[in-house]
Amino acid sequence: GAVVSQHPSRVICKSGTSVKIECRSLDFQATTMFWYRQFPKQSLMLMATSNEGSKATYEQGVEKDKFLINHASLTLSTLTVTSAHPEDSSFYICSARGSGGTFYTDTQYFGPGTRLTVL
């Protein structure tokens, strides 16, 4: 099956700094990528949807200036947590759907996640 990678897998940063998380589709081109946030023992919450070459669409309640998403190519999307604070500590997961199809025919493939800890 298709593979989605995330880098880094784990990051610890100081409060006030910015952190960039990469999401790559390794063996397919992803027209659409999704970013989720997962709190301990809770479900995944969709943060935003990004389409290659266009601005991301954020879910209600997600601060677009805090969580900057760039989907510059068909294989790479980045999430930058700006001026991170301890409450931003979480598990961030991306997923990607292949181009040329619809969600009806193409599965979302998920990355392994990035654990962010803000001190």
Partner 1 sequence: AQSVTQPDIHITVSEGASLELRCNYSYGATPYLFWYVQSPGQGLQLLLKYFSGDTLVQGIKGFEAEFKRSQSSFNLRKPSVHWSDAAEYFCAVAVDNTDKLIFGTGTRLQVFP
Residue 99's region, left for phi above 0, alpha for psi from -120 to 50, else beta, is beta
> CB 103 → partner 1: shortest distance, Å?
4
Alpha carbon separation from 19 to 5, 59, 115 (Å, rounded) = 17, 20, 11
> CB 84 → partner 1: shortest distance, Å?
23
- Positions in the binding site for partner 1 (CB under 8 A): 4, 9, 32, 34, 41-46, 49, 93, 95, 97, 103-104, 107-113
> CB 108 → partner 1: shortest distance, Å?
7
Closest to partner 1 by CB, 54 vs 86, is 54
Closest to partner 1 by CB, 46 vs 74, is 46
